[in-house]
Structure 1
């Protein structure tokens, strides 16, 4: 049975971008996280210790999103590393980070990077 935890449309105001202006002014971001792990035991026991607390997943994401970076790829990689290190029961997943209305010419809603592991 495939099982996972998802955190959807997590919103942040953060300071990522190649230009110095982006890192000073900041922008709105959305993060989507899906982590694969066995949830069968928690489904039976109703015990938080038998799963991963999604509040702790959020804390990992928030911590890394608050560190300014040039590239969203770098931020996503740091988030994956932090989550896997803190929660070794997670054996895979995916993450998507979107910069809302990026500062480029043209009508664009968001620019995103996605990783699966």
Structure 2
């Protein structure tokens, strides 16, 4: 059986990107800031890279990390949902090899009274053809 035309769904994960930034709907969050933790899973076909050992067949995860960090450090937004959307759009714009991705943004210390570990959201986006 031929592999011609088959799309492989491999993935690259960048986990635990920890960035201090000033996002949030509350004024105190924008003044004091806090850490945000970003996890990204990029789904793509890594068959060429796995066979040819060539960076052109994959996503340079060092560059992707720098792009994610730059976005999180940029202009504050109210919602971590919006921040995750900005990350996904930028990665899709930069890397046409990415077919789908999951972006999780975690606030380890949101301003909520109570006992909990953290608050996070995850978005899943697919490239539209």
TM-score normalised over the length of structure 2: 0.87
Of residues 10, 27, 48, the one that matches 1:41 is 48
- Give the aligned length: 117
* C-alpha RMSD of matched pairs (Å): 1.0
Q: Which has the larger radius of gyration?
A: 2
Residue number in structure 2 paired with 1:31:
38
Residue number in structure 2 paired with 1:12:
19
Superposed structure 1 runs of 4+ greater than 3 Å apart: none
TM-score normalised over the length of structure 1: 0.95
Q: Which runs of 5+ in 1 are unaligned?
A: none
Residue number in structure 2 paired with 1:99:
107
Q: What CA deviation, in whole Å up to 9, does each residue of 1:68-115 have, x standing for no partner?
A: 111101111111100000101101010100001211111122111110
Q: Which runs of 5+ in 2 are unaligned?
A: 1-7
Structure 2 CA distance for aligned equivalents of residues 108 and 63 of structure 1: 29
Structure 1 CA distance for aligned equivalents of residues 47 and 67 of structure 2: 24
Q: What CA deviation, in whole Å up to 9, does each residue of 1:7-57 have, x standing for no partner?
A: 011111111111111011011111110001110000011111111100111
